[in-house]
Amino acid sequence: MQWNLRMRAAERGIWKSAEMRRRLAAAGLEISAGKMSGWWAGTPPTIRLEELDVICSILECTPSDLMTPEPEKVDARRPRQAEAINSENENGPRVAPRFGKPRSEPPL
């Protein structure tokens, strides 16, 4: 996901992180300077839903306006089918669970 807080803030005339932080505080959300700096820099945030609600309220947007999916990054993380088959052959057979024979009971 790409985090677009700065772009959405600019669309509302908020050009500095300090101004955004003041507006969040006025809405009841106190954010540390470090956390705000990370959000403003575009670092994908760790964010609570309550925080997201306040941000969306201030910027008059939806969560989907703040986040843009990047499916190509997801695809890049998946192993290619041929690579997965080759690594399986090199590492031996896949381990599969055995059903039918339960573990023994512990001693009393």
Give the domain CATH number at 44: 1.10.260
Given a cut of 80, whether residue 3 has pLDDT beyond it is yes
Assigned domain for 56 exists: yes
- Confidence at residue 43, expressed as pLDDT on a 0 to 100 scale: 84
Segment 71-96, tens digit of pLDDT? 887 777 777 665 555 555 566 667 66
Assigned domain for 16 exists: yes
Q: How many domains does the chain have?
A: 1
Assigned domain for 104 exists: no
Assigned domain for 87 exists: no
Domain that holds residue 29: 2-68
Segment 32-81, tens digit of pLDDT? 999 999 999 988 788 999 999 999 999 999 999 998 888 887 777 777 66
Assigned domain for 15 exists: yes
Burial label for 39, CB within 10 Å (0-12, 13-18, 19+), is buried
Q: What span, in angstroms and rounded, lies between the C-alpha atoms of 14 and 37?
A: 14
Given a cut of 90, whether residue 101 has pLDDT beyond it is no
Assigned domain for 106 exists: no
- Confidence at residue 73, expressed as pLDDT on a 0 to 100 scale: 77
pTM across the whole model: 0.65
Assigned domain for 98 exists: no
More confident residue, 42 or 26: 26
- Asked if 67 and 4 touch (Cβ cutoff 8 Å), the reply is yes
Q: What span, in angstroms and rounded, lies between the C-alpha atoms of 52 and 58?
A: 10
More confident residue, 4 or 90: 4
Assigned domain for 52 exists: yes
* E strands in 1-108: 2-3, 67-68
- Asked if 40 and 17 touch (Cβ cutoff 8 Å), the reply is yes
